[in-house]
Amino acid sequence: MNKLLTIAKNTFIETLRQPIYGIIIVAALLLLFVSPSVAMYTMSDDNKLLRELALSTLFLTSLFVAIFSASGAVAKELENKTITTVLSKPVQRPIFIIAKFLGVAAAVVLAHYICTVGLLMAIRHGVLETVNDTHDWTVLGAAGVAVIAVFLLSAFFNYAYEWRFLSTAMVLAGIFATFAIVFLAFIDRHWQFNPAENGINTVDVYGSVLLLLAAIIIVALAIALSARFNIVVTLSACIGIFLLGLVSDYAFGRFAEKELWARIGRYIIPNLQIFWISDAIYEGSEVPLKYIAISASYALCYTAGILALAIALFQRRQVG
């Protein structure tokens, strides 16, 4: 267990230190910041479009973080030959694969959580549909204080203790995001204590949870592929499987009753459409907890199967 936690911790820290990790999160937060302005030019319900845009941004952010972070988790160790040092401790190969998965998954959860808070803030602010609508200065104030605090504290720790700026900023962002969303859960747009009007919708939270489950599947898939292939092949395969997973019902489902290849593809390729609930948003319907539980069970079983395959592929991999 100590070896597992040590490797997972090191993987988590190394993932946070990757420049691409911070770039994707910052880009996603900027897109969420401008999304209320982008969604105001529709002829229908602007706020529904805002919610779909925000969830789409969150979906792509988590998946790209998962793909880019996990694809090099094992492949870089193989290319740099550092894996020979690790496995000579000795560390069992299944422990190594599971630890890598847990470390990258923890980094993906952190990124997803930070962006989820940004999503809830954007939806809480809403679209200024008429000239009489005003900005939600409670949201803007909470977000501004969090960003300034993260930047100043990260710079201070980097100067005083030589902590890595990026990884420190990501951890602090998760902490101050929690403070901000808890504050907004109790304070309304008029700076009054009014939890009933906090603007946080349960469907949006459920949608975020489902998208996180999809990202965890991609993490496991990238770990499995990187156990046998280099980073370029792993990235290409993950992106291809991701695109097929988004159109699984169209590509395989309609042919599954008649064609064998469609049935095989339907079971092999993860169906990522089940984690996307834009229809429920447009129809204004509720998402029951039973659906979340079934989707979580699907993601758990699929992730466990992929990790078992990753361990089997890595068992006979020549690392010397």
Confidence at residue 130, expressed as pLDDT on a 0 to 100 scale: 67
**Number of domains, the chain:** 1
Residue 101 near residue 223, CB atoms below 8 Å = yes
Q: Which residue has the higher pLDDT, 177 or 38?
A: 177
pLDDT tens for 90-118 read: 778 888 889 999 999 999 999 999 999 99
**What pLDDT is stored for residue 320 in this prediction?**
60
Asked, for residue 320, whether it belongs to a domain, the answer is no
pLDDT at 44: 61
Inter-residue contact 128 to 40 (CB < 8 Å): yes
Q: In the predicted model, what is the mean pLDDT of the chain? A: 86
pLDDT at 11 over 80: yes
pTM: 0.91
Q: pLDDT class for 42, splitting at 50, 70, 90? A: low
Q: How confident is the model at residue 265 (pLDDT cuts 50, 70, 90)?
A: confident
**Proportion of the chain above pLDDT 90, given as a percent:** 40
Q: Determine the pLDDT at residue 41.
A: 64
Q: For residue 97, is it within any domain?
A: yes
Determine how many CB atoms are found less than 10 A away from the CB of residue 13. 15
> What is the pLDDT at residue 233?
84
Q: Which residue has the higher pLDDT, 110 or 264?
A: 110
* Domain interval for residue 204: 2-128+135-315
Question: What integer pLDDT is reported at residue 161 of this predicted model?
Answer: 92
Tokens representing 249?
Answer: 């019902």
Q: What is the pLDDT of residues 71-93, one digit of tens each?
A: 777 777 777 666 766 666 777 88
pLDDT tens digits, one per residue of 124-168: 888 876 666 788 899 999 999 999 999 999 999 999 998 999 999
Segment 181-199, tens digit of pLDDT: 999 999 988 889 988 888 8
Q: Which residues contact 8 (CB under 8 A, 6 or more apart)?
A: 99, 100, 102, 103, 106
pLDDT at residue 273, as a whole number? 87
pLDDT reading at 43 higher than 70: no
Structural domain contains residue 112: yes
In a domain, 67, yes or no: yes
